[in-house]
Chains A and B, each alone.
Chain A
Amino acid sequence: MATLHTVNKSPFEKRSLDCCIRHANPGSAILLIEDGVYGALKDTAVSDKVSGALDGRKVYVLGPDLHARGMSDDRVIDGVEVVDYAAFVDLVTEHDRVQAWL
């Protein structure tokens, strides 16, 4: 039943993350990839929105994309889990479908 949502756009440039959070039902998971990883950072204009999304949902961020952009794991919002490519694959297999927010 559960959906894995992926977001690959910067939340400062596009509304993809916003739309994703509004449509992601309780029990679903959100994975931030590519420029979407900026949504996982502490102390930004969108941090509170993402922290709010953690209520009833899991939020993940792809480590390789985070590190490529110069962001260390300690800059990630508490409760957001940093995952590697293998865990990305596991998430895809554990969920019934993947919905990409471009």
Chain B
Amino acid sequence: MAEPWEEDEGPVKKFMYVNRKAPYGTIYALESLEVVLIAAAFDQDVSLAFLDDGVFQLKKGQDTGEIGVKNFSPTYRALEGYDIEKLYVEKESLEVRGLTADDLIVPVEVLSQDELSKLMDEQDVILSF
């Protein structure tokens, strides 16, 4: 039998997590990841957007051994296991930073600024980090 809290699941909403900060310099990137993983338990329609310095979060080859901080970048590869498969990266943000999709630790969908803006407009909830 279903538990009381499982019975009425309510409507599925579209949640987008917007990531605009580089990792390690501030706590935003790690906190975003924590919240995304919590939200994954609620069976909502979750997507992650990476733009501005947020694209640096997905850079391959992060090695934090020398700065004594946990390397949380492998967690992005685990998101698939939580049914979080919609990862969008803004093309213009990559270009300004000398990066390409090949530099990233996970497969993503690269979108133009216009495309990403339209996608943001389709969301029910936007969480900013």
Please give the residue numbers on chain A whose beta carbons come within 8 Å of chain B beta carbons, in ascending order.
8-10, 12-13, 34-35, 38, 41-45, 47, 63-65, 67-72, 75, 84-85
Among residues of B, the one whose C-beta sits closest to the C-beta of A44 is B98
Tell whether A70 pairs with B98 under 8 Å between CB atoms, given A10-B22, A34-B24, A64-B67. no
| B115 interface hit (Cβ, 8 Å) | no
Complex contact A38–B22 (CB within 8 A): yes
- Chain B interface size, as a band, is 20 to 34
Complex contact B60–A13 (CB within 8 A): no
Complex contact B59–A10 (CB within 8 A): no
Complex contact B56–A69 (CB within 8 A): yes
Complex contact B60–A68 (CB within 8 A): no
Chain B positions within 8 Å of A75 at CB level? 98
Among residues of B, the one whose C-beta sits closest to the C-beta of A35 is B25
For chain B, what secondary structure do more than half of its interface residues adopt (helix, strand, loop), or is it mixed? loop
| B73 interface hit (Cβ, 8 Å) | yes
| B61 interface hit (Cβ, 8 Å) | yes
Complex contact A8–B62 (CB within 8 A): no
Complex contact A38–B97 (CB within 8 A): yes
Complex contact B66–A12 (CB within 8 A): no
- In the complex, A12 Cα to B26 Cα: how many Å? 15
Chain A positions within 8 Å of B25 at CB level? 8-10, 34-35
Q: What are 24 A-B contacts defined by CB distance under 8 Å?
A: A10-B25, A10-B53, A10-B56, A12-B53, A12-B96, A12-B97, A13-B21, A34-B25, A35-B24, A38-B22, A38-B56, A44-B97, A45-B96, A64-B67, A68-B62, A68-B64, A68-B71, A69-B59, A70-B60, A70-B61, A70-B63, A70-B73, A71-B61, A84-B66
